[in-house]
Structure 1
Amino acid sequence: MDVLEAPAVTLPSARGPLDPAELERIHAWWRAANYLSVGQIYLMGNPLLREPLLREHVKPRLLGHWGTTPGLNFIYAHLNRAIAARDLDMMYVMGPGHGGPGPVASAWLEGTYSEVYAEVSQDLAGMQRLFTQFSFPGGIPSHVAPETPGSIHEGGELGYSLSHAYGAAFDNPDLIVAAVVGDGEAETGPLAASWHSNKFVDPRRDGTVLPILHLNGYKIASPTVLDRISREELDHLLRGYGHTPHLVEGDDPALMHQQFAAALDQCLDDIAEIKRRARDGVSERPRWPMIVLRSPKGWTGPAEVDGLKVEGSWRSHQVPFTDARDNDAHRTVVEKWLRSYRPEELFEGDGAPVPAIRDLHPAGDRRMSANPHANGGVLLRALRMPDFREYAVPVDDPGTGAVESTRVLGTFLRDVMRANMTNFRVFAPDENNSNRLGAVLEATDRAWNAQRAPDDVSLAADGRVMEILSEHTLQGWVEGYLLTGRHGLFSCYEAFVHIVDSMFNQHAKWLKVTDSIPWRRPVASLNYLLTSHVWRQDNNGFSHQDPGFIDHVVNKGPDVIRVYLPPDANTLLSTAAHCLASRQYVNVIVAGKQPQLQYLGMQDAIVHCTKGIGIWEWASTDAGTEPDVVMACAGDVPTMETLAAVEILRGWFPDLRVRVVNVVDLMRLVDDREHPHGISDREFDSLFSTDKPVVFAYHGYPTLIHRLTYRRANHGNMHVRGYVEEGTTTTPFDMCVLNRIDRFNLAIDVLDRVPRLQAISAHARESLHDKLIEHRQYIRVHGEDMPEIRDWEWSAVAGPSTQVGNQPLVEPVQRCGS
C-alpha cells in the first residue's frame, strides 16, 4: 500500500446515545471540518488532492493555529446534532480565538459562508478560495473575526468568551449560548471573574450559557494550569463557581463521540428542567451544567514530525511544522495527514460536501453560523425614548445654580428603562448610585441571583441594573448584549475605565470591520458615561485621577468613535439621548457627578449640542469686532474655570475683547477631511481666528488638543491647559491649581499672550499671584476652598466682575507674617 493512501476505517462499536449510523455521520462531518481546517492553514492549490501535492500547492507563509481546532470542530458537530434533534436556538461563542479555521470550515459546510460570500461557493473553486483566503493578503484573519458568520466574539484576545456569552443570553429566554473556554484563556483574570456571571441570570427571563471548558493541555510552549491539577481539584473549582461539570476525556474518537453526546444530552435535559422549574415559579439559583472536554492538543494531526512529538504536545499549538513548501519530507507529512481524513468520501466530484454531510446540520436560522442573534442588527429594535426635553433643568441665568448633572440624567435613564424592559440595561462596577444614577432603581432592581440578607435593598433575580466589581466582566456583558441586538449604557469612574482599554480596542475594531461587511447589520452603539472624573476625585487622590481614556479612544478609526464633554445637565441630556439612539459607534461621554453650575436652557443646549462647538455670546465681549483673545473650553470644570477667568479679565480690563468658545463634541476640532464630525478650516478659523492667541482649558491631557488641531492655521497660537499628571488628596479647586487650569492661571496666561496687555498688566498679575498664595494658605488651614471659589457664579451684565473705580477684581492679601 502507498504510504500516502489512507486505509478505510470503521469506527468500533461503542455504547452510548448515538446509533451506528449517527456515529458514522457525525464522525464524517468532523473529518470534513478537520480536512477543511488543515487545508486552510497549508494549501493554496490542489484542494482535494486530485494529484500529488507539489510545492506550488503549499502556501509560502504558513500561519494559523491547529492545536485547538479539532476539538472545536468536534464540539460543533455535536451541537449541530442536538440543535436538529431538539430544535434549539443556539449560538457558538469560541474562546480559543485562533481556532478560526474550525468555525470557518463549519460555516462553509453549513452553506452559510457561500450565502454571504458567493465567491466562496460550495464547489472545488470555492474550496480553493476558502483555503487561499485564510491568513493571506486580501483574505481573512486566523481567528474568528467579524467576517466569520455566526460570530460575535473575535477571540483575537483571550479572556472574554464567557462574559460575551452571558451578555448574549440576558433577555433571550429561549437562547442557549455554547461558550467554549480554552484552557489557556481560563488563566486570564477577566475569564476567572466571568464565571460569576451565573449569579446574575434569571432562568425565567434570560437565556442559558452552556460553558464547555476545552482542556487540551498546552499554551504556545507550556502546559495549562487547569489541565495540570487533579480531577478532584478541578471538579471542586467548577462546582465552587456554581456549575455541575460533566467530564469527557480521551482520544478514541468512537468513545469520545458517545461520551460527549451523552454529556451534552444530560446538560440539555438539565437546562430544560431548570427552565421548567423557573416557569413554574420555583425561586432558586440553579446549579447550571457544563462540560469539561479533555482531548489531545492537535487531535488527529501527525503524531510525530522529525522525531518530535506533535499530537498531544505544545508543538501542535500553531502550525505544527512550517517548512512544508520547500521540505519534501514535510510536504509528504502534510499530504498523508490530509489524506487520512479520506476526502474522497466527504466531497463530491465537484467539491461539494456529500449529502450525508451537507444535510447533517440544522436548517435555516437554526444553523449556528446563521443564527440571527449573531448578527444582532437584524434583531435590533429602536429604543422607545421619552422626550429628554421634559427632564430639563431651568436656567434663569447662565452660570448659576448647583445641580448634579448625572442625577438629572438618572431620571431620564429611569424612564428609558421603564419603556424598554426587555432590550435595555445599564452596567456599572458597583458605582451606579455613586455616579448619581440611582433613579434607575425606581424602575428596576439590581440583577442578583445569589443569597440575600434582610437588609439588602434593590436586589432581584429579574433586576436590570448590572453591577459587579469587574470592569472586564461588565464590558463583556455589554458587548455581548449589544452585538445580539440590544441597547445599553456603561457608567464607570473615569480613571478605572482604563481597565478595559484592550476590550474597547477589540470592540472598536469589530465595528470598523463590520462597517465594510454588507451582510452585517448595524448594532446599537457602545455608550460610556465616564464620571467621578479627574477634576472631582480630590478626596480619593492621585490613584483616581486619570483622564487618559479619551486619548486612547481617539486613536481608533474616526468612523466609529465619538467623544462628548457636556458642561451641564441639559447638554448632558441632549448628548445622552443622541448617543442612545445612535448605531455602530463607541460614544464616550464625560460628565461630573458633583453639583455644578448650569449654563444653557434646554433649547440653547440642543442648539449647542447639535453644533458641537460654538461661541457663547453671553460670555463674550467681541461681538462685531476681532477678539483680543479666544478663551476655549471643553469639559464641565474647565468651562467653569474659563468663565471665572473671563470674569477676572473683564474686571481688570473692561475693554478687553474676549471670545468664549465651548466644545461639546471633541471631534469637531478635527479637520473635516479626517473625521465626519470635523469642521472645515474656514469654520475653525471663524471660531478661533487665524492669528489671535487661544487659551484652551481642556478636561484631559493637553497634548490631545494639539494633536487634533495641529493642521489648523492658528495652531501656533493655541495654548492648551489641562491635566498634567499633578494630583493628590486635596480640594476641588486645588486640583485645578496643581495642574494650572484654574481661573487665576488662565487669566495670567491671557496677560502673557495678548500683546497690548503686557505693558499694563503688572498689577493684575501681582494680584492674581497673591490669590494663588492665599488659596494655598487657606486650604491648609480650613481644609476646603475659599468661599469666593466655592460659591462663585457668573452674575454680571457688562462683565460679571466689572472693576469698580480703582478697585481691582481681586483684592490684595496679607503677606505671610504681616
Structure 2
Amino acid sequence: MEMAAPHNQASSNDLDLLDRYWRAANYLSVGQIYLLDNPLLHEALRPEHIKPRLLGHWGTTPGLNFIYAHLNRAIRAFDLNVIYICGPGHGGPGMVANTYLEGTYSEIYPNISRDTDGLRKLFRQFSFPGGIPSHAAPETPGSIHEGGELGYALTHAYGATFDNPDLIVACVIGDGEAETGPLAASWHSNKFLNPIHDGAVLPILHLNGYKIANPTVLGRMGDEEIRQLFTGYGHAPLFVEGDEPTLLHRQMADATKQAIESIRAIQRTARDGRKTTDLPKWPMIVLRSPKGWTGPKEVDGLKVEGFWRAHQVPIANPRGNPEHLNLLEQWMRSYQPELLFDENGCLQPELQALAPRGGRRMGANPHANGGLLKRELKLPDFHDYAVKVPHPGGTVAEATRVMGQFLRDVLRLNAETRNFRIMGPDETASNRLDAVFEATERVWMESTEPYDVHLAQDGRVMEVLSEHLCQGWLEGYLLSGRHGFFSCYEAFIHIVDSMFNQHAKWLKVSRGLPWRRSIASLNYLLTSHVWRQDHNGFSHQDPGFVDLVVNKKADIVRVYFPPDANSLLWITDHCLRTYDRINVIVAGKQPAQQWLTMQQTATHCDAGIGIWRWAGTEVDGTEPDVVMACAGDVPTLETLAAVNLLREGLPDLKIRVVNVVDLMTLQPREAHPHGLSNRDFDGMFTHDKPVIFAYHGYPNLIHRLTYNRTNHAGMHVRGFKEEGTTTTPFDMVVRNELDRFHLAIEVIERVPGLSTAAAHLKQQFRDALIEHALYICQHGEDMPRIRDWTWPYGHYVATDTA
C-alpha cells in the first residue's frame, strides 16, 4: 500500500495544531476528574463546581492523549485502519476525551452533545453515580480491552490482529503493566504473527517512571538496556523522550511515520512472496514522558509532575481548600480553553479537521465493535460423527477424539474466511484433538527442523505454553468479530481465573449497550480432568474452575458435563452457535463406555437433565426409594456401576437414575434461563426421598445450586474432596469416596429400613474396598473386575425401558 498523502517532515503549523488538539484532550480529561459544572471556565471556579468525590487517574492520561493525537495524524496521512488498546488501567479520561473530540462519543450517546451542555454532562458522568467507570470499559467507544486489570493489553492486541491483514492495533503498555507476568509473556506474540494474512501490532511502551507509589522497573532502566531487551524480543525500538512538548511532537511524528513505513515494508515483502530467513523485526515505540505531564508541578510544596503523586488525583481537595481550588483553575486555564472551543462549547473547526473520518476514527472503527464484522461460522452436521451405540455401554470411545474430528471439519469449512482458530497451551494432541491436524497445522513462524511435525506459518491452531496468552489471543479474536475454541487441562485453567472474570464482566455490561453488537461465545473445553489425572498426581487434580464460573451472571455462563462422546458432539455444536456467552465443557479424553445413541442424546442434551429409565428400577406410577444422580463422565460411570451392584444385591429396591448434562438446570428457573421449574425439579428428585448425587467437582457447588429446592435436605453429594496423588484411576474415586462401593453403601445407609436389612451387602462392599487397596499396592493397577466392568445390558434388557 502507498501513502495516501505526503508525510515527510511535519510542518510547524501541523505540530501547533496537533499540540492544541492534545491540549483539548488534556483539558477534557482534567474536567472529567474534577468538574460538575462551569465546563469552559466562563466564570471563576467555585467549590460547588467541584465533584464531592474525586475519582480518576491523571498520571498516565496526558501520555495516552499525546499518542492518540499522533495516531490520528498517521491515520489521515496513511489512510490507516487502526484501533487503540489502552493498557494503563485507568486511562478512561483520555479515551473518553478523544472519542468525544473525534465525534464518535456524541454519535453513540446523543445526550452528550458537542456543546457546552454536552461538556457539562460529559464531565459530570465520569466516575459518578449513574455515570461511567474510570477506565476504558465496554461503555467506551473504540475499546475492546477492559482497563480494570493490568497485564492483558498486548495479548488482546495480537488476538485482534490475527486474520485481519489490513488492521493495525496500536497498543499502549504502561510501565506498571509491563511488570506483570502475562504482559511479559505477551512480547512473544510477535513470533505467531504472519505478515501475509495477519495485521500488525504497534506496541507503544509508555515509560512515565512510576506506579501508584513506587518507581517502575522498566522506567529506571536505561535506553540501551531497553533497546537490548526489546531487540531480543524481536522488535526494533524507536525512542521518543523528554518533557518539552514541541520537541516531543516532532520526535513522535517522525517515530510514527517510521513505524508505519516499517510495518508496510514487512508486509509488502511477505505478501509479494519474497522469502526471508529471519523473523521480521517489528517496530515499537518507547515513549518516555513525565507522569502527570502538563499537570501541577507541586502541590502543598510536594513534587507532583514526574512523580507518583500524579498517579491519581494530583490536587486532592479543591472543594474544601481555596488554595487547591485556585491551583486547579490555573492548571485548567493553562490549556487555553478559549482557543480550543468556541463560545458554544464546540471544538474549533481547524481542530475538528485533525480527526479521521467515519470508520477510520479509532472510536468508530468496526473492529472495536466486532459484532459488526462477524460472519456466521459454517458447521458440519454433527450427526455425521456420531458413535454407534447398540445399547448402553455397548461401545467404547474417546469423547474428545471424536470431538477433534468434528473440529477438523469446522476448520475446513471456514478455511477460506479464516475466522476460526483453536487455542491451547501445547495440549491439542494430548487432549486427543489431533484430528484437527488433518485440516491445518500449528502456527509457527520461527525456523523448523526436518523432524518437526504439524508446524506451518499459516496454521490455524495456536499453541504456546501460557494459558494467559491463549485466553488473551482468543478474547481479542472474538471481540474483533471471529470465532474460536480453547482447550486446556482442567487444573490449569485456573491460571486465567481473573481473565475469565474480566471477560464475563465485559459481556455482562456489553449486553446492556444497544450499540455493542453480539460477538461469538468464548468456548472452553476442560479435559485431562481431575478423575483421569492419576498419573500426574495431586498438582494436576483440581475441578474448581466451575465454582468460579457459576458466580457470574446467570445469562452469561453455561457449564456442561457430557457423559459420553455423542453428548459432547451435541454440546460442541450448540456452543459454537451461541453468542455473548461463556461456555465451559468438561469432558474426559480416555477410552470410556458410551451410553446414548445420537437420537437419545439430542433429547437428553436439549433438556439438559433427564431420567435414564434403562438404568433404574423404578416402577411406573410409584415413587422411587432413592434417586441416584450424576454429573460428569466418571461420576456417571461410577453411579451406573453402583446401580448395578444394588440391582443385583437388592432387586426390590426402586432406583431412579438422573443424569445432569447442563449444570445450570439445577438452579431455579428464576435464577437461570436453563433452570428447572420447582415443579419439574420436585418431579424428578422427589419431595423427600434420599438423593445420592455423584458430581464431578467440589460437592458444595451442588448444594449452592439447589439450596432452596424442596428436597435439598435430602441431597447427599459426593465429589472431589481434595484427596489425590499419583495412583490408579479407580483409586482416585475411592480416595474421594465417589466410587461405586461408597455410593452403594450410602444408598443402604440413607434408604429407611435398609441399614439393618442390607447390612451383609454393606459389609461386602467394604470388603471390596479393602481388597482394592491391597491389590493396587501389589500390582500397580486396578483389579480386572473394575477395569473391565461394563454395563450388563443383556441382564436387564427385558425389563428396561430405553
TM interval, shorter chain, is: over 0.9
Question: Residue by residue, what CA displacement relative to the aligned partner does 1:474-511 show, whole Å, maximum 9, x if unpaired?
Answer: 11000000000000000000000000000000000000
1:617 partner SS: coil
Q: In structure 2, the residue corresponding to 1:98 is in which secondary structure?
A: coil
Asked if 1:612 corresponds to 2:608, the answer is yes
Preserved CA contact (<8 Å) 1:69 1:298: yes
Q: Is the 8 A contact 2:392 2:793 kept in 1?
A: no
2-side partners of 1:431 and 1:800: how far apart?
40
Question: Is contact 2:61–2:94 with CA below 8 Å preserved after alignment?
Answer: yes
1:189-240: CA deviations, max 9, x gaps?
0000000001101100000000000000000010000111121111100000
Q: Is contact 1:214–1:292 with CA below 8 Å preserved after alignment?
A: yes
Contact between 2:443 and 2:463, CA under 8 Å: does it hold in 1? yes
1:104-119 pair list within 5 angstroms: 104-119=96-111
The alpha carbon displacement at 1:21 in A equals: 1.7
Question: Following superposition of structure 1 onto structure 2, how do residues 569-648 of structure 1 map, counting pairs within 5 Å?
Answer: 569-624=565-620, 625-648=622-645
C-alpha contact 1:404 1:596 (8 A) present in aligned 2: yes
In structure 1, the partner of 2:4 is none
3-state SS of paired residue (2:363): helix
Q: Aligned-pair distance for 1:655?
A: 1.1
Query: How far is 1:356 from its partner?
Result: 1.3
1:404 aligns with 2:398: yes
Note the alpha carbon deviations across 1:81-113, whole angstroms, 9 max, x for none. Answer: 010111100000110020110010000001111
Q: String of CA shifts for 1:584-614, please: whole Å, max 9, x gaps.
A: 0000000001111100011111111100000
**Alignment partner for residue 512 of structure 1, among 508, 511, 526?**
508
Pairing 1:337–2:334 present? no
Alpha-carbon distance in 1 for matches of 2:497, 2:95: 27
Q: Which residue of 2 aligns with 1:768?
A: 765
User: 1:493 & 1:798 partners in 2: Cα distance?
Assistant: 38
Amino acid paired to 1:616:
W
Residue identity matched to 2:485: L
Q: Which residue of 2 aligns with 1:19?
A: 11
Number of the residue aligned with 1:37: 29
Out of 188, 213, 218, the residue aligned to residue 196 of structure 1 is 188
| 2: CA distance, partners of 1:485 / 1:282 | 30
Select which of 530, 540, 548 maps to 1:552: 548
Question: Match for residue 101 of structure 1?
Answer: 93
Structure 2 unaligned blocks of 5 or more = 1-6
Determine whether 1:695 maps to 2:725.
Answer: no
Counterpart in 2 of 1:268? 260
State the distance in 2 between where 1:62 and 1:399 align: 65
Is 2:681 aligned against 1:684?
A: yes
Q: Counterparts of 2:502 and 2:286 in 1: how far apart (Å)?
A: 28
Aligned-residue offset at 1:281: 1.1
Matches for 1:303-452 after TM superposition, within 5 Å: 303-421=297-415, 422-452=418-448
Indicate the residue corresponding to 1:743 in structure 2. 740
Q: CA offsets per residue over residues 637-685 of structure 1, 9 Å max, x none?
A: 0000000000000001111110000000000000000111111000000
What amino acid does structure 2 have at the position aligned with 1:143? H
Secondary structure of 1:755's aligned partner: coil
Per-residue deviation, 1:756 = 2.6
Partner of 1:149: 141
Distance 2:690 2:796 in 1: 21
Residue 133 (structure 1) shift: 0.6
TM-fit CA distance, 1:16: 8.0
Is residue 90–residue 366 contact of structure 1 (8 Å, CA) maintained in 2? yes
1:650–1:799 CA contact under 8 A, matched in 2: no
Q: Which moved more, 1:455-464 or 1:473-482?
A: 455-464
Aligned counterparts of 1:766 and 1:282: Cα–Cα separation in 2: 76
> Is the CA contact 1:525–1:585 (under 8 Å) kept in the aligned structure 2?
yes
Q: Provide TM-score, normalisation by structure 2.
A: 0.97
Match of 1:207 among 189, 199, 202: 199
Amino acid at match of 2:406: F
Q: Which runs of 5+ in 1 are unaligned?
A: 1-14, 803-818
Residue matched to 1:461: 457
Question: Whole-Å Cα distance in 2 between the matches of residues 800 and 730 of structure 1?
Answer: 35
- For 1:230 and 1:51, locate their aligned partners in 2 and report how far apart those are by CA, in whole Å: 46
Decide whether the 8 Å contact of 1:66 with 1:317 is kept in 2: yes
C-alpha distance in 2, partners of 1:646/1:262?
Answer: 75
Counterpart pick for 2:285 among 263, 270, 291: 291
The answer as to whether partners of 1:650 and 1:801 remain within 8 angstroms in 2 is no
> How many residues were matched structurally?
788
| TM-score, normalised with respect to structure 1 | 0.95
2:401 & 2:749 partners in 1: Cα distance? 39
Contact 1:647 1:799 in 2 (8 A): no
Contact residue 651 and residue 801 of structure 1 kept, 8 A: no
Aligned equivalent of 1:474: 470
Matched-pair contact (CA < 8 Å) for 1:427–1:466? yes
Instruction: Please state whether the residue corresponding to 1:619 is helix, strand or coil.
Output: coil
Aligned to 1:139: 131
Q: Percent of aligned positions with the same letter in both sequences? A: 66
| Residues 438-496 of structure 1: per-residue CA shift (max 9 Å, x gap) | 11111111001112122111111111100000100111000000000000000000000
The one-letter code of the counterpart of 2:508 is K
1:767-810 residue CA offsets vs partner (Å, 9 max, x unmatched)? 000000000011111111111111111123554999xxxxxxxx
Post-superposition CA distance 1:127-158 (Å, at most 9, x none): 11110111111111111000000000011100
Shift of 1:743: 0.2
Farther off after superposition, 444-453 or 529-538: 444-453
Partners of 1:159 and 1:762 in 2: CA distance: 59
Q: Distance between the aligned counterparts of 1:789 and 1:801, measured in 2?
A: 25
Contact 2:60 2:292 in 1 (8 A): yes
Corresponding letter in the other structure for 2:534: D
> Which residue identity is paired with 2:464?
I
Give the secondary-structure state (helix, strand or coil) at the position aligned to 1:74: helix
- The answer on whether the counterparts of 2:537 and 2:727 sit within 8 Å (CA) in structure 1 is yes
Give deviations 1:492-534, integer Å, cap 9, x for gaps. 0000000000000000000000010010011000000000000
Residue of 529, 533, 539 corresponding to 2:535 = 539
* Matched residue, 1:812: none
Q: How does 1:146-295 map to 2 (within 5 A)?
A: 146-284=138-276, 285-295=279-289
- Give the aligned partner of residue 50 of structure 1: 42
Show the counterpart of 2:713.
716
Structure 2 counterpart of 1:536, one-letter code = R
AA of the residue aligned to 1:45: D
Letter in 1 for 2:385: Y
Residue 318 of structure 1 aligns with an amino acid whose one-letter code is Q
Distance 2:798 2:629 in 1: 19
RMSD between superposed Cα atoms in Å: 1.2
Deviations 1:230-266 (A, max 9, x none): 2111110000000000000001111100100001100
